[in-house]
Amino acid sequence: MTALTPVFPLLDTIDSPQDLRRLPENVLGQLANELREFLIQSVARTGGHFSANLGTVELTIALHYVYDTPEDRLVWDVGHQSYPHKILTGRRALMGTMRRRHGLAGFPKRCESPYDTFGVGHSSTSISAAQGMAIAAEAAGSRRRAVAVIGDGAMTAGMVFEALNHAGHLKNDILVVLNDNEMSISPNVGALSSYLTRLLSGHVYSTVREGGKRILAHLPSSMWEMARRAEEHAKGLVTPGTLFEELGFNYFGPIDGHDLPTLVRTLENLRDQKGPRLLHVMTRKGKGYKLAENEPVTYHGVGSFDPASGIPPAKTGGGPTYTQVFGEWLCDMAAQDPRLVGITPAMREGSGLVEFAERYPTRYFDVGIAEQHAVTLAAGMACDGLKPVVAIYSTFLQRAYDQLIHDVAIQNLPVLFAIDRAGLVGPDGPTHAGSFDLCYLRCVPNLLIMAPADEDECRQMLYTGFLHDGPACVRYPRGKGPGVAPVATMTALPIGRAELRRQGRGTALLAFGAMLPLAEAVGERLDATVVNMRFVKPLDTAMVLELARTHERLVTIEDGAVMGGAGSAVAECLAGHGVHTALKLLGLPDRFLDHGERGELFAECGLDIDGVLAALAAQSDH
């Protein structure tokens, strides 16, 4: 029997928030049901971020219903929760293109829609951005409002508290909506909190509060301070907002983020108030889809699936991913060396630390979304005899660059950086691409930088970096390698030594990391020499100079930015030794690449067999 196509009579009438705001409030609940079902059906086809988006359906409706978007600025943090926003802002018909080449981005993107007021991908930026917009509105004499929506996980970042502290100091007209989807609300406390928040955000309370301030302003300072503390303690009895109040924010909440009437009424009350306000909203990840409610981590980011049965079981067989190679090595190394500790900035699953966390809980440290702290924490550990391994995505290590230099490299501390998602990552797009790590790491003194060409080499490089008496980096791509099974025995590689893979003539292809299979395929076509460079720093200068002496042309191939990357290191080597051999650098171009499948993006950059052959033919023609 063929399943019936879902019908969305209300949602189909919404092509913009203006359409939404024309609806009577009593039908918003039906709209939420339709929007949630549409979201389930849509993500099931395309894949993408799922459980967090299901949790923000009512909140998204209420925000667009109350605020005059896009004139009022609505800033979403990270973007994992912004799919309902995209659907309500004219992109419903395009949701089938989500995260595909030339389709919708998986995150808010300013060039995609005027409703996407700030482009995001990394967390914890929304409050700073919204505050900047509030300052701009004030400078222009505009009554335009600014709202930041941020998740509780993103609140672990220090940048958030920098923004809160500054906004509280300047008294900017900004509303921060804290979308808290980790804690649950018991029915009694939830109902009481909702009632009190509606009361505290209402006109009567605000009038009394501001009037009281004017009266108390004429009294001695001791009386003013007594009244302020009395108000804080009275509110503290029923709300957890003392921290935000101390930072200068008026705190309201927590309220049930799935109770549309309460959301609408509270936002209407808060909309026209002045100064910094924070509304604490409780939502449930995966709301409305039981499998995602029960397993929100599993359903955080998904591929396509059958909504009726859920995510299919993981396929067995085949080789491990690079992330799995790292996770297995970490456990094996921890069994050998009790000094090993593992650190991650809130990426336990993504970075492959689940088994390590279970087997070595006292040696596992998840610091939250706090990359800077993660690196300096590792530096402190290394100072006093521990051997820290920082598991971090390439794109997130960018956020801790100062700590990498100031706290680790300058002090030459033995910290191993396991850098996942190096190179292009595909559907997540430019915010998550690991395009720049070789460029920003290569210029830092004391760093050992390795790029494995296969799974076994990754394991051996991790071991090499762990033994190294100084900071070391092993950077590897997303997904699986060419299928070289990791050898259980760990062997340290000779530092700074490349590996000759194929002896040819005329052209020498110098491959860095994951580009070796491509270089080998091209080498067979051209009868070219192929070298697995292995080390980006220190570079095997002896190998480079020998290849330059015996070949007419050198070609470097890397999956990072070509400007300042590994190929540039080869060029510097040749120039430094006065060698003038023809040289071609192949890598990622000097532009940001949009989302799409990795194969599509590599082909666009000329990093496939046809692209490399064409580039070399063009060079020969000149």
Query: For the residues of 158-227, what is the DSSP string, one character each?
Result: HHHHHHHHHHHHHT--EEEEEEE-SS---HHHHHHHHHHHHHHHSHHHHHHHHHHHHHHTTS-HHHHHHH
Omega of the bond leading into 482 within 30 degrees of 0 (cis): no
Q: Round to whole Å and give the CA distance between 210 and 319.
A: 66
Residue 557: which of 514, 586, 597 has the closest Cα?
Answer: 586
Residue 476: which of 488, 487, 460, 497 has the closest Cα?
Answer: 460
Can you say whether residue 255 is alpha, beta or left, with left for phi > 0 and alpha for psi between -120 and 50 degrees? beta
Question: With contact defined as beta carbons under 8 Å apart, do 561 and 439 qualify?
Answer: yes
* Backbone torsions φ then ψ of 385, nearest 5 degrees: 100, -10
Burial 23-44, CB ≥16 within 10 A → b, else e:
beeeebeebbebbbbbbbebbb
Omega of the bond leading into 517 within 30 degrees of 0 (cis): no
Which H/E stretch holds residue 511? strand 507-511
Measured CA to CA in angstroms, residue 204 lies from 194, 207, 570 at distances of: 16, 5, 71
Question: Given strand 364-366, what is the order of strands in its sheet?
Answer: 364-366, 340-344, 387-393, 416-420, 472-475, 448-450, 535-537
Name 401's Cβ contacts closer than 8 Å, sequence gap at least 6.
440
Place of tokens 């406390």: 189
Q: Round to whole Å and give the CA distance between 527 and 75.
A: 54
Q: Round to whole Å and give the CA distance between 476 and 597.
A: 18
Residue 443: which of 575, 566, 579 has the closest Cα?
Answer: 566
Report helix, strand and coil shares of the chain as percent, to nearest 5: 45, 15, 40
Q: Is 109 a catalytic residue?
A: no
Q: Is 371 a catalytic residue?
A: yes
Angle between helices 187-201 and 203-216 (to 10 degrees): 60
Residue 540 in tokens: 């095997």
Choose the catalytic residue: 34, 371, 455, 558.
371
29 alpha carbon, distance to own chain's centre: 32
Choose the catalytic residue: 36, 86, 99, 285.
285
Q: Round to whole Å and give the CA distance between 598 and 610.
A: 16
DSSP state of 72: S
Strands 301-302 and 174-180: unpaired
Q: Round to whole Å and give the CA distance between 202 and 245.
A: 18
| Count of beta carbons in the 10 Å neighbourhood of residue 353 | 26
Q: Round to whole Å and give the CA distance between 356 and 418.
A: 14
Choose the catalytic residue: 99, 109, 399, 459.
399
Catalytic positions, please?
285, 371, 399
